[in-house]
C-alpha cells in the first residue's frame, strides 16, 4: 500500500433496491423489497452514527447498488450528516438514467455529491434488451444535461460489452455516443456470466472471449483518441479525474462499508456484512453485529496481492516481480523501474497476475 493510500479513507454505502434485476446481475439487490426502503436507510444512518467516532476523516464516498437514485434522496443524504466527511471529498452516487430528476440532484449536491456514475451499459436498444435492461437510451442524454445543470462536475459512464447480438457496429455506437457526452471518466466492463443469474441459465447468450477482446481493443482506441487515459484495466479518465475511491481498492487502502452485503477494510482485515436487507435491519435494530465474515492475509500474501492489484493499474509493479515469460505483455510505467500491462497485456491480466513473484 502506498503512503498516499494510507492517508486516504473511503466510505461505501450499499443500496440493495432495484426496479428490476438485470439478467447478468449477481449483486445483493432485490426488486421486491420496496417496503423496506425507509427502515433500511434508517438502519444505515444508525450504523453510520455508531461508526462516526471511530473512523478517520473520509476522503471518498461511493454510494452503489442496486439503484441508489431509486430511494428518496433526502433520506439517503441524511445518512452522511452523521459522518466526518472531508470538505473536498470525492462523493459519488450511482444512478439509473431513467430515474434522474432535478430535485433529486439538488439534494445530492447539497449533501456534497460532486460525482455521478451513470449505468448506461449500452446506447443500442436491442443490446439493452439482451442484457435485461429496460432504460431508454434517450434518457441518458436528458440525465447528463440535468447532471451538468445541477453543477456536478465529474461524470462517469458505465458500459458493458459482449451481450448476445451486439455487433462491432453496435459497440462502436455505444462508445462513440458515450464520448459525445464528454464524460470525465468512462468505465467499460466485459459481460461476465455469474452463477445463479438468468444469463448463466441461457447458454445461447453467453459472451464470446474473442469478440470481447476485439471490443476492448476498439474501446481503448476510441477512448484514448478522445483524450481519456487508461489508469486501470476497465477505467479511463481525463487527466486528474481518475476515481479516488476506485484507487483505494487497487492500492489496498482502507474503507468502511455501510449497509447489507457491504465490505470493509481496516488494519489489513477485510470483513463483510450480512447479505439481505432484512437481516441487516434486524441486527442494527437489536444492537448486534452485522458482520457475516472476515479474513486477514499474512504479510507475504498481502504483499503479493498488492502486486496483483497494482499490475492492473498504470502504476505497475517493479520489474523484478515480473517473470521473463510475461514481460512481453508489459511496458515501462511512469514510475521509474516499474512495468505496466500493454493494451494487449490487459486482455491477459489474470494470467500475468498469477505469475507475478
Q: What percentage of the chain has pLDDT greater than the value 90? A: 93
CA-CA distance, 48 to 154, in Å (whole number)? 26
139-148, 175-184, 200-209 — which is least confidently predicted? 200-209
Q: Is residue 171 part of a domain?
A: yes
Tally of domains within the chain:
2
Based on the domain organization, do 195 and 320 belong to the same domain?
A: no
- Residues 149 and 32 occupy one common structural domain: yes
From 218, 250, 282, give the residue that closes a domain: 250
Q: Which helix (H) or strand (E) holds 237?
A: strand 235-237
Does residue 264 lie within any of the structural domains? no
pLDDT of residue 3: 46
Domain co-membership, 225 together with 348: no
Q: Which three cell numbers stand for residue 67?
A: 439503484
pLDDT tens, position by position, 295-351? 999 999 999 999 999 999 999 999 999 999 999 999 999 877 899 999 999 999 999
Give residue 336's domain range. 311-355
> Do 324 and 239 lie in a common domain?
no
Is residue 35 domain-shared with residue 118, that is, in the same domain?
yes
Q: What is the pLDDT of residue 233?
A: 98
DSSP-assigned beta bridge partners for residue 229: 237
Same domain, 39 and 168: yes
Residues 229, 325 within the same domain: no
234 and 138 within one domain = yes
222 in the same domain as 107: yes
**306 within a domain of the structure (yes/no):** no
Query: Is 214 within the bounds of a domain?
Result: yes
Are both 210 and 77 inside the same structural domain? yes
pLDDT (tens digit per residue) in 182-205: 999 999 999 999 999 999 999 989
Both 134 and 203 in a single domain? yes
In a domain, 110, yes or no: yes
pLDDT by residue (tens digit) across 79-90? 999 999 999 999
Domain boundary pick from 224, 250, 276: 250
CATH number at residue 16: 3.20.20.70
d(CA 75, CA 42): 8
**Domain for residue 62, yes or no?**
yes
Segment 238-284, tens digit of pLDDT:
999 999 999 999 999 999 999 999 999 999 999 999 999 999 999 99
Q: How far is CA 127 from CA 117, 265, 284, 332, in A?
A: 20, 36, 41, 37
What percentage of the chain reaches a pLDDT higher than 70?
98
In the predicted model, what is the mean pLDDT of residues 231-238?
A: 98
Residue 133 domain flag? yes
pLDDT of residue 2: 44
Average pLDDT, integer, range 86-115: 97
Q: How far is CA 70 from CA 197, 263, 281, 309, 346, in A?
A: 22, 22, 19, 32, 35
Last residue of a domain, one of 201, 224, 250: 250
| pLDDT value, residue 5 | 52
Same domain, 7 and 115: yes
What pLDDT score does 351 carry? 94
Specify the higher pLDDT residue, 149 or 204.
Answer: 149
Order of strands across the sheet with 235-237? 229-232, 235-237, 185-190, 154-161, 115-121, 85-95, 58-65, 9-15, 254-258, 263-266, 269-273, 291-296
Amino acid at each position: 500500500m502506498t503512503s498516499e493510500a494510507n492517508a486516504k479513507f473511503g466510505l461505501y454505502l450499499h443500496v440493495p433496491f432495484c426496479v428490476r434485476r438485470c439478467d447478468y446481475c449477481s449483486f445483493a439487490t432485490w426488486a421486491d423489497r420496496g417496503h423496506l426502503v425507509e427502515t433500511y436507510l434508517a438502519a444505515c444512518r444508525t450504523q453510520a452514527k455508531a461508526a462516526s467516532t471511530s473512523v478517520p476523516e473520509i476522503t471518498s464516498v461511493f454510494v452503489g447498488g442496486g439503484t441508489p437514485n431509486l430511494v428518496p434522496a433526502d433520506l439517503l443524504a441524511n445518512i452522511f450528516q452523521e459522518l466526518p466527511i472531508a470538505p473536498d471529498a470525492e462523493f459519488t452516487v450511482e444512478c439509473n438514467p431513467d430515474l434522474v430528476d432535478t430535485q433529486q440532484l439538488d439534494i445530492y449536491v447539497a449533501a456534497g455529491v460532486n460525482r455521478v456514475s451513470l449505468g448506461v451499459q449500452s446506447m443500442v436498444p436491442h443490446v439493452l434488451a439482451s442484457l435485461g435492461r429496460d432504460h431508454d437510451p434517450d434518457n441518458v442524454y436528458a440525465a447528463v444535461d440535468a447532471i451538468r445543470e445541477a453543477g456536478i462536475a465529474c461524470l462517469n459512464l458505465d458500459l458493458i460489452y459482449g451481450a448476445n447480438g451486439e455487433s462491432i457496429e453496435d459497440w462502436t455506437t455505444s462508445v462513440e455516443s458515450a464520448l459525445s457526452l464528454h464524460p470525465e471518466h468512462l468505465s467499460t466492463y466485459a459481460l461476465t456470466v455469474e452463477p445463479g443469474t438468468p444469463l448463466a441459465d441461457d447458454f445461447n447468450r453467453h459472451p464470446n472471449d474473442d469478440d470481447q477482446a476485439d471490443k476492448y481493443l476498439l474501446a481503448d482506441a476510441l477512448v484514448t483518441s478522445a483524450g481519456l487515459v487508461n489508469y486501470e484495466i476497465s477505467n479511463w479518465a481525463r487527466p486528474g479525474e481518475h476515481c479516488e475511491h476506485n484507487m483505494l481498492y487497487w492500492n489496498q487502502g482502507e474503507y468502511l462499508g455501510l449497509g447489507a452485503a457491504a465490505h470493509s477494510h481496516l488494519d489489513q482485515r477485510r470483513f463483510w456484512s450480512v447479505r439481505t436487507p432484512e437481516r441487516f435491519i434486524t441486527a442494527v435494530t437489536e444492537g448486534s453485529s452485522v458482520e457475516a465474515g472476515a479474513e486477514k492475509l499474512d504479510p507475504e500474501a498481502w504483499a503479493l496481492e498488492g502486486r496483483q492489484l497494482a499490475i492492473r493499474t498504470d502504476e505497475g509493479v517493479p520489474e523484478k516481480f515480473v517473470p521473463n515469460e510475461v514481460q512481453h505483455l508489459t511496458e515501462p510505467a511512469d514510475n521509474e523501474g516499474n512495468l505496466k500491462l500493454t493494451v494487449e497485456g490487459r486482455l491477459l491480466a489474470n494470467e500475468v497476475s498469477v505469475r507475478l513473484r
